[in-house]
Structure 1
């Protein structure tokens, strides 16, 4: 800016000097001599200096505007830096996100005569490895007479063997589900302390847990807890799907019984007529 003002002053002095030199002078012998060429040149020089002065003023205005824009950008950068620095150092507005965690309720079963011995411990995660034994003790078993009867049945055409297979599928699925429920309850009980510690760190407002690195660590741990919970929930959902498949076995057996009974009745009536004497064959297609 100082350089532009110096150039502007130099131009003005040069123009004044040229003006003075273009004034009429005295002749050598007392007369006045006027030089038109020199005066025109002086006027042209003055006009050029004025144009240069306007250009310098415009450049000076543009320079001032650029400096004002640069200062504005600088102030905005300082404001942004202070905001980011404050968020990374002391991010304390977390309580608005805090929720209440539901507590896990444990199962309770009556056991008047020992009929549910071990069930409560297996369901609550106190003895998850005993689910198969507990299920077998709670249900009715097959006696020796039933076993000898089943040995003589033909696989694929025996209603008794189909019922037995459904019972065995129920035993396997139910034992698995009891174990999954027990494992889930045991996992939940073991995770209560780490989850409580994680929650306290997430909503802590001190500088120890409000840095960017610490917040990223808390996010990673929260994702790890969420993954474990999702896997446990997946095991429970798999048990529900397996139980639904076992229930479908019972419905399928009932449907097969209905078709087989209809075919058997039709076959018997075609061989041994059940219609009254001198009646039509309407009774052949009648099912009671």
Structure 2
């Protein structure tokens, strides 16, 4: 069981990201510098996402199943079987900025984040409109990273060991071991993890890092690729006011180096608002406001 858990964590840490089509071109330069990233402007134009709510044929009633077998194309022709998740979203997220996607539960903020990040693909989805990165619709051509809402970290490792483990997986040759260690130290300094470098991650049974430190470590794992675009799904969830502010301030600092940082957030506190350069406000999938 433990080995399977560690395998899952390894995959989340980047074991599958050595494919150039996933991380993009020139995945990790041998002289990585967090002050030198390729600027990427993100544009969303009339983005609409619908999902087919028709139950699979094996879950349908006998009458419904028989009807669909007789009329196999009726499902795709029935507009009433589709639920709109996002409806005509337009937005611009320039390089060097941090953009907040704000909305209540079910507003579509995570769906918008996932569509932009290329993480929302299914035969049951209808996606129209466009998302472009410097005019390119394929995010695989850009260096990007995605920070999940839940921290997926091995509790028995220290912060440095976690980042070193992820670096060994994410930074293949010709990156040398010495260069990996140097990159890890850069990430530690950039994200303010110096004080907890040798603290174990911990869990509910064993005390370790605080919630804010774990979140910054999760961000650090993704920062190893030195992305131009960084997506974060509700990075302040479960954190106290001080930790939440520190996380957004850290992301603001990463954006100031030329990155495009995009976060989804449920209800930001007043002191956090001033840190956002752009805001996208959603309600039931529809944009109420999009701009600075």
For the aligned pair, the TM-score class normalised by the smaller chain equals: under 0.3
Normalized per residue, the structure richer in strand is: 2
Larger relative CO (CA 8 A, sep 6+): 1 or 2?
2
Q: TM-score scaled by structure 2?
A: 0.17
Q: TM-score scaled by structure 1?
A: 0.17
Q: Which of structures 1 and 2 has the bigger CA Rg?
A: 1
